Structure 1
Amino acid sequence: MEHNPLRDLIRLLGSVFVFAVSIQLLLLLVYYFLFKHAGINPIDFISLYKYSPFAGKIFLGISSIATFILPAWYMQVNNAGATSYFQTQKTNFWQYITVLFILVSFMPAMSLIAHLNREMELPALFSGIEAWMRKEEMRMEEITKIVVLDSTISGLLMNLVIMAVIPAVGEELIFRGCLQRIFGKWIASPHVCIWLVAIIFSAIHMQFYGFLPRMLIGALFGYLYFWSKNIYVPIFAHFLNNASVTVMAFIYSGDGKSYEEMTAFEYDTSDIYVASLILTSIFVLIYYKVSKRITNGKELD
């Protein structure tokens, strides 16, 4: 028995609101009593992260679980016999290897796209909106800087959990698992559905100067799931993507380098970007072919 997609969407949004708001309010209340002696207002996230990076990381991790993992779990356990949100069809070792090659080969092109997005300027008519967007971007960048720049092994392990494991599991369950399936009942074209979810995925992060690369990576995750019909594949890809940044920040921090040095952009020759796009396209095509053979019951030799 299939559910009504509108009802499913309302249930999903309602569960996200209830879990996220209730658990975050509880956590803020706990933090208020823990840090009131220091005059720290937990609602002022930057001051909280600066005063206690550990407490900030705990807040970030629990918030991600409440916003993504718990609502996805709720949707699945209350599915009432309908088709599972999270497909787990058989996969092949080479699919995961190809995913790694896709992400590595796309890095130069993605870096260029991210730089061009950061350089974006809106027309003067929207100067107020642009000022707000840049303010939000700087606020999120300040928090990210505090969280990821940790040169200790314990800090690296904690960052991998809260920056890579939890987001990879939670965001893929919600966006590729729940939303992609719900929208798929409304929208005949899977491509429109995948790109719509990718746009929402990028917009929900509220980091507009990273919108394009995040949208593209979201679309990639969508196609990985659509072709493999296995939610573990985009989770794996999402983890690799986030973990690579986390490990890079650990290395830079250990070398005494700043966040600005880590995110600095230098143009490569056009050949590098062309090669990046060509190789990415080849590996995506290989992934598509491998996935189709497996989903059609024709295991590769």
Structure 2
Amino acid sequence: MIQQPPLRYLPPFLKILTLFALMLICMQMMFFSAAYIIHQYLGVVDTEAFSSDIGLQAAHPMAALLMQFIGTGLGGFLLPSLMFSALTYGAIGKPLKLVYFPNAKQFLITIGLILCSGIFIALLVDINKLIPLPESLSSLKDFQQKYDTLLNAFFKDVTPLRFAFITLVLAVMPAIGEELFFRGSVLKILSETRLGIHGAVVFSALAFSLMHFEFYNTFAIFFMGLVLGYIYYFTQSIWASIAAHFVNNFLQVLLKYLFATGVLATDITTSEHLPLYLTITVGVFTFALLWLLCKNKSAPIEEKLPNLDSTNTTTTA
């Protein structure tokens, strides 16, 4: 535990800037480390071109997965969150709510909520597609198409071992890293401002959505950010939102794997449309479960840092 965390008294705005600065620094360091590893051990010759060319990454899927794990997972979200917590609050476990766990009832509601949300957001995607993509953002569509190609490359000739690694990179690491970053750090900072907890949930969800760079999924990702934010707040445990995030991502990975191995005849993850009656019905269940989780919420946990000034004073007789 750091006795005098240097960032403790920074105003929230500067804390946000510091958090994102740590993200950029850690990403740079981790991508450099990943480039060295894939060059030395996975046969990637031009790592600079590889890091910026999704086509090259699709030709070397294991190297691309490793780079994403180290650069984005570790460097982009996990490490900056841990470092920021230590430098700001003097500890990691309690400030990030890693030492608190949801009860069994909260956990079951959370899983049901995220499963329903995963179906309901199909309606939000349909609505999102009614909005024309601005010409200035056309590069986002190209990027999404290239990333879809890369994702398909991950599952080409997939083995159980690669499936396990894909699960680690695309489900486990994002669930842990992104929740510690957006809910454990960004939401926590914003809740210290005049926005309050509900404003913090909304704006952290907005940041979560924008940083995915998926125009036609903006509404869906924003809604999932809201759900994850309220799961975190109602349970007072980062593990609840991590579990929900993991379930959502893992289902996508599992369905892709089952399609790639011939178990499923259709790639459900690319389904263009779900019946309106289904998405609306599931939407009702989604909000009902969110309400139920609210009714079973844990009391807010106040994290009180010790008075550092008093610990540095001495008394004389």
Question: Whole-Å Cα distance in 2 between the matches of residues 93 and 202 of structure 1?
Answer: 29
Shift of 1:260: 6.2
Shift of 1:218: 0.7
- Give the alignment partner of residue 187 of structure 2, picking from 161, 180, 184: 180
Which stretch of structure 1 is more off in the superposition, 130-139 or 154-163?
130-139
> Do 1:252 and 1:262's aligned partners in 2 also have CA atoms closer than 8 Å?
no
Q: Report the CA distance shift for 1:261/1:173 in structure 2 as closer, same or farther (over 3 A).
A: closer
Is 2:95 the partner of 1:85? yes
Partner residue in 1 for 2:309: none
- Cα shift readout 1:177-231 (whole Å, capped 9, x = no counterpart): 0111111122333211111110111111111121111110011110111111111
> Do 2:102 and 2:239's aligned partners in 1 also have CA atoms closer than 8 Å?
no
> Do 1:48 and 1:55's aligned partners in 2 also have CA atoms closer than 8 Å?
no
Question: Whole-Å Cα distance in 1 between the matches of residues 87 and 57 of structure 2?
Answer: 36
Question: Whole-Å Cα distance in 2 between the matches of residues 86 and 36 of structure 1?
Answer: 37
The structure richer in helix per residue is: 1
Partner residue in 2 for 1:274: 280
Which stretch of structure 1 is more off in the superposition, 83-92 or 9-18?
83-92
Shift of 1:245: 0.4
Q: Report the CA distance shift for 1:133/1:39 in structure 2 as closer, same or farther (over 3 A).
A: closer
Partner residue in 1 for 2:305: none
The residue type equivalent to 2:109 in the other structure is T
Is 2:60 the partner of 1:52? yes
Question: Whole-Å Cα distance in 1 between the matches of residues 66 and 188 of structure 2?
Answer: 31
- Give the alignment partner of residue 154 of structure 1, picking from 155, 158, 161: 161
Matches within 5 A, 1:101-250: 101-122=112-133, 126=134, 128-148=135-155, 151-250=158-257
- Give the alignment partner of residue 289 of structure 2, picking from 283, 290, 294: 283
Shift of 1:105: 2.3
Partner residue in 2 for 1:299: none
Question: Whole-Å Cα distance in 1 between the matches of residues 122 and 296 of structure 2?
Answer: 28
Q: Report the CA distance shift for 1:289/1:59 in structure 2 as closer, same or farther (over 3 A).
A: same
> Do 1:180 and 1:197's aligned partners in 2 also have CA atoms closer than 8 Å?
yes
Q: Report the CA distance shift for 1:262/1:227 in structure 2 as closer, same or farther (over 3 A).
A: closer
Tell me the SS of whatever aligns to 1:42: helix
Tell me the SS of whatever aligns to 1:3: coil
Question: Whole-Å Cα distance in 1 between the matches of residues 300 and 192 of structure 2?
Answer: 21
Question: Whole-Å Cα distance in 2 between the matches of residues 37 and 160 of structure 1?
Answer: 27
The residue type equivalent to 2:56 in the other structure is L
Which stretch of structure 1 is more off in the superposition, 248-257 or 144-153?
144-153
The residue type equivalent to 2:108 in the other structure is I
Question: Whole-Å Cα distance in 1 between the matches of residues 234 and 47 of structure 2?
Answer: 52
The residue type equivalent to 1:220 in the other structure is V
Unaligned runs of 5+ in 2: 302-317
Q: Report the CA distance shift for 1:248/1:6 in structure 2 as closer, same or farther (over 3 A).
A: same
Which stretch of structure 1 is more off in the superposition, 82-91 or 224-233?
82-91
- Give the alignment partner of residue 76 of structure 1, picking from 53, 77, 85: 85
Is 2:91 the partner of 1:98? no
| CA RMSD after TM alignment | 2.8
Shift of 1:141: 2.0
The residue type equivalent to 1:283 in the other structure is L
Question: Whole-Å Cα distance in 2 between the matches of residues 73 and 209 of structure 1?
Answer: 31
The residue type equivalent to 1:76 in the other structure is S
Question: Whole-Å Cα distance in 1 between the matches of residues 232 and 52 of structure 2?
Answer: 37
> Do 1:149 and 1:250's aligned partners in 2 also have CA atoms closer than 8 Å?
no
Shift of 1:259: 8.3
TM (norm. structure 1) is 0.86
Partner residue in 2 for 1:10: 17
> Do 1:107 and 1:276's aligned partners in 2 also have CA atoms closer than 8 Å?
no
Shift of 1:73: 1.3
Identity, in percent, stands at 18
Question: Whole-Å Cα distance in 2 between the matches of residues 201 and 149 of structure 1?
Answer: 29
Is 2:274 the partner of 1:264? no
> Do 2:30 and 2:75's aligned partners in 1 also have CA atoms closer than 8 Å?
yes
